[in-house]
Amino acid sequence: MNKQTIQIVAMVTVTVLILFLHMLSPPWGSYHFVLSELYYLPLILGVLRLDLKGVIATYLFVSAAYLLGAWVTALPQPACRILHLVFSGLVVLLAAILVDRLKKRHLQTEQERYFSGIGQVATVIVHDLKNPLISIQGFARRIQEGKGDTALAALTITKSAQVMQRIVNDVLEFARPVRLNPKQGDLRQSIQRSCETCWTKAEERGVKLIVKLPTEPVMSDIDSYQLERALVNLIDNSVDASCHGGDVIVTATAGKNKIAITIKDHGEGMAQETLDNLFTLTYTTKNEGTGFGVPISKKIIEAHGGTIRVSSKVHSGTEVFIGLPLQSGNR
């Protein structure tokens, strides 16, 4: 039974229940008139959940139930009954038209956002592929003409091709849904391995990488490879943002239902515009990179059922907050 069928069954059930109570109530009591107004409930549900044809069908069904209840209970003043049906029909029709317009506008907005995202991706691909293509063409021409250092030209062409390959891989990685292969593992080990991957770069930049982990194992079903990719990217960003002699502190705190991971640096921080666009596709302030890294990390974390939030101020550093759910064994 699909979702729409369940909603139709619910509307029919509510209408029949109101009709049953309507028929049992005395026509002269206030309880009877209250029940008469309850017929609006299935009408409202139909407006919110069905298309225009479905709303009209719901109105006809509910109106038939109302008339049946009024006839059985011999409700006086037939003009009032007719007026009630007319006004309820007008209200339902107007509401259905407005809801239909809102749905179409929402769909149009989603389509515009989708095509805007495609446009952003295309812009980044064209922009980022242009420079390595120019290098490849230029050095290939020099090799063809027998000019310059052939070995240096070949090395430049190879590096440019690698840059192009990385751009293509990033685009494909972001376009496809994240597919996890979760296995039970200790989250502390994944965090530790992610930090170890970034230690060499941190040492080269004169940045101290500090790791604070729980003393007890923190077990959960995770795809360690994917999760470590996300953490490495975020830690790497913090190292890049840090000045020589600065600290990057990675902390993990296990709670009853989740583990909280924070990555804090003491770099220059981010302006509000950068912070607002941090998870926007292809947005980057680095000289190198496509801007896919942070959005991909967000996708991986959310695929694990987690959340990510970033707090930053100019000249005050940046702090990344990650929350990941734990399996029942830790509760």
Structure tokens at 270: 């981010």
What pLDDT is stored for residue 321 in this prediction? 96
Look over the chain and give the mean of its residue pLDDT values, rounded to a whole number: 79
CATH number of the domain that 219 lies in? 3.30.565.10
What pLDDT is stored for residue 45 in this prediction? 74
Q: What is the Cα–Cα distance from 170 to 290, expressed in whole angstroms?
A: 8
The answer to whether position 40 is within a domain reads no
> Structural domain of residue 195, as residue ranges?
185-330
What pLDDT is stored for residue 303 in this prediction? 92
The answer to whether position 49 is within a domain reads no
What pLDDT is stored for residue 121 in this prediction? 64
Nearest alpha-carbon partner for 220 in 327, 324, 323: 327
What pLDDT is stored for residue 331 in this prediction? 39
Q: Tally the domains of the chain.
A: 1
Where do runs of H (alpha helix) occur along the chain?
Answer: 3-24, 30-37, 40-49, 52-72, 78-145, 150-175, 187-204, 224-241, 272-276, 293-303
Q: What is the Cα–Cα distance from 230 to 224, expressed in whole angstroms?
A: 10
pLDDT band at 118 (very low <50, low <70, confident <90, very high): low
Residue 212 φ then ψ, to 5°:
-125, 110
Q: What is the model's pTM?
A: 0.56
Over residues 7-16, the pLDDT tens digits come to 677 777 777 7
Residue/partner pairs of 164-172 with CB below 8 Å, 24 or more apart: 164/129, 164/132, 164/133, 166/290, 167/124, 167/125, 167/128, 167/129, 167/290, 170/290, 170/292, 170/293, 170/296, 171/121, 171/125, 171/290, 171/292
pLDDT: is 54 or 243 the higher one?
A: 243
Beta carbons of 67 and 60 less than 8 angstroms apart: no
Helix pair angle (52-72, 78-145), 10° resolution: 160
Beta carbons of 235 and 195 less than 8 angstroms apart: yes
Residue 258 amino acid letter: K
Report the pLDDT averaged over residues 41-60.
73
What pLDDT is stored for residue 231 in this prediction? 94
Report the pLDDT averaged over residues 47-66.
74
The answer to whether position 193 is within a domain reads yes
Report the pLDDT averaged over residues 236-263.
92
The answer to whether position 321 is within a domain reads yes
What pLDDT is stored for residue 302 in this prediction? 92
The answer to whether position 133 is within a domain reads no
Helix (H) or strand (E) holding 220: strand 219-222
The answer to whether position 119 is within a domain reads no
State in Å, rounded, how far the first CA of the chain is from the last one.
35
Beta carbons of 184 and 221 less than 8 angstroms apart: yes
pLDDT exceeds 70 at position 159: yes
What pLDDT is stored for residue 329 in this prediction? 44
Q: What is the Cα–Cα distance from 161 to 26, expressed in whole angstroms?
A: 84
pLDDT band at 211 (very low <50, low <70, confident <90, very high): very high
Give SS3 for 330.
Answer: helix
pLDDT band at 58 (very low <50, low <70, confident <90, very high): confident
The percentage of residues in the chain with a pLDDT greater than 90, rounded to a whole number, is 26
Residue 270 φ then ψ, to 5°:
-125, 145
The answer to whether position 243 is within a domain reads yes
pLDDT: is 73 or 159 the higher one?
A: 159
Report the pLDDT averaged over residues 210-220.
92
Q: What is the Cα–Cα distance from 278 to 117, expressed in whole angstroms?
A: 15
Structure tokens at 187: 């989250």
What pLDDT is stored for residue 285 in this prediction? 47
The answer to whether position 252 is within a domain reads yes
